[in-house]
């Protein structure tokens, strides 16, 4: 059953009207360029203002800062349609679902007025720099520092695996403003760094096994000076801010994973219906039907759970453990679906010209970013 025919409970008529706009944009402006952007290893910056014109970027930003003041359901629709009809990791969700929230919740009035309207319009592309070489999910162990020098911070360090790193005009940098803090998390702050600051350098656009079109970069900071007013919220509260926004980030990943799995499933049903083996369609074999029937049942459960989680989040009731569980379950489901569907494609599934191969490669990272699924289990387990 196509995505637009799946009964949903999390959305109203306004949401679904917005979906039509997003779906058309994805089909006309994004999907036709998948191959070229994958070869270029980047999504062109020119596409961002086009998305901004349609209200697809940061729709939750309050109207006084240039946004539409809508709920997260509109973000979720962009996430679903990006995975289902676009098939491209544009970087929109990072800006709309993650970075935007930090600025709205913790930014100063000056920061909000300067950056939020530009993020909504697509004039400014953002990134958030957490991960460092040798430091993965353990943000307390970061070594990038932001030391005070008069009314400035001087930032030194490096980051890696940064989404939107090549395109970013503004980077939210997680740094130690107090390296001696005990416990260590009390020394972490988030500093806004404009990409034109002296001493800021972009490293390689990293070569990944999937999501080829998404620019993922190394970033370097060599005595980068920024005003102390570039600190997001209070100094030393960065770790708390990061933890408070994780349920939405993980729900966003779950949404994209579910939509991607749904599209791969539908494509596979069509492929096995058309492809013949031993004189009959591959779908005619009991094994094929049983595999697909099992996946269909799990996808049905997945959409019901996702709507439950969305409804909880729209009421600001989704807990960190529930967000972690959503990320864990839906990304594991995504992997099961794409892997079994690739198998049903036979040799064709190993060819990059088939969507299932690209989806399979792209799906591998969803169990890693946003916190590995092992970390998700640890977080859920702590609440037992």
Name the DSSP letter for residue 17.
H
Structure-token match 């993020």, residue found:
119
Buried b (16+ CB within 10 A) or exposed e, 105-139: ebbeeebbebbbbbbbbbebbbbbbbbbeebbeeb
Beta-carbon-side half-sphere exposure of residue 384 (alpha carbons within 13 Å): 7
Contact 333, 257 (CB under 8 A): yes
Verify whether residue 20 is a known catalytic residue: no
Q: Kindly state the tokens that stand for 4.
A: 């637009």
CA-based torsion, 38, 18, 79, 356: positive or negative: negative
Q: Kindly state the tokens that stand for 129.
A: 């720099």
CA 200 to chain centre: 24
3-state secondary structure 331-352: HHHHHHHHHHHHHHCHHHHHCC
Catalytic residue among 249, 336, 374, 378: 249
Residues annotated as catalytic (active site), given as ranges: 249
């Amino acid at each position: 059953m196509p995505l637009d025919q799946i009964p949903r409970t999390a959305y109203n008529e306004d949401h679904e009207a917005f979906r039509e706009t997003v779906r058309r944009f994805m089909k006309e402006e994004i999907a036709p360029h998948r191959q070229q952007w994958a070869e270029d290893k980047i999504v062109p910056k020119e596409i961002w203002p086009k998305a901004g014109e349609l209200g697809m970027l940061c729709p939750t930003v309050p109207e006084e800062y240039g946004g539409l003041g809508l709920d997260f359901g509109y973000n979720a629709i962009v996430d679903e349609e990006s995975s289902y009809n676009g098939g491209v990791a544009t970087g929109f969700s990072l800006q709309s679902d993650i970075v935007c929230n930090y600025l709205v919740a913790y930014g100063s009035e000056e920061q909000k007025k300067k950056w939020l309207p530009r993020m909504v319009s697509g004039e400014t592309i953002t990134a958030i720099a957490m991960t460092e070489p040798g430091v993965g999910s353990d943000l307390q162990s970061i070594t990038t520092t932001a030391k005070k020098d008069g009314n400035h911070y001087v930032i030194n360090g490096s980051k890696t695996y940064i989404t939107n790193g090549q395109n970013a005009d503004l980077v939210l940098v997680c740094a130690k403003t107090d390296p001696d803090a005990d416990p260590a998390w009390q020394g972490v702050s988030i500093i806004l760094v404009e990409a034109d600051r002296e001493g800021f350098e972009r490293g390689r656009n990293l070569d990944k096994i999937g999501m080829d079109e998404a620019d993922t970069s190394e970033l370097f900071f060599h005595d980068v000076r920024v005003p102390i007013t570039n600190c997001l919220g209070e100094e030393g509260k960065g770790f708390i801010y990061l933890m408070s926004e994780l349920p939405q980030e993980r729900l966003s990943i779950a949404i994209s994973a579910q939509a991607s799995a749904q599209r791969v499933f539908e494509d596979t049903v069509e492929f096995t219906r058309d492809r013949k083996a031993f004189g009959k369609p591959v779908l005619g074999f009991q094994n094929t039907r049983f595999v697909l029937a099992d996946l269909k049942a799990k996808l049905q459960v997945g959409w019901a759970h996702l709507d439950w989680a969305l409804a909880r989040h729209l009421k600001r009731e989704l807990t960190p453990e529930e967000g972690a569980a959503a990320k864990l379950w839906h990304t594991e489901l995504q992997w099961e679906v794409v892997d079994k569907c690739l198998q049903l494609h036979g040799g064709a599934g190993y060819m990059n010209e088939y969507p299932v191969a690209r989806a399979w490669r792209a799906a591998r990272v969803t169990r890693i970013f946003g916190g590995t699924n092992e970390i998700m289990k640890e977080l859920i387990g702590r609440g037992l």
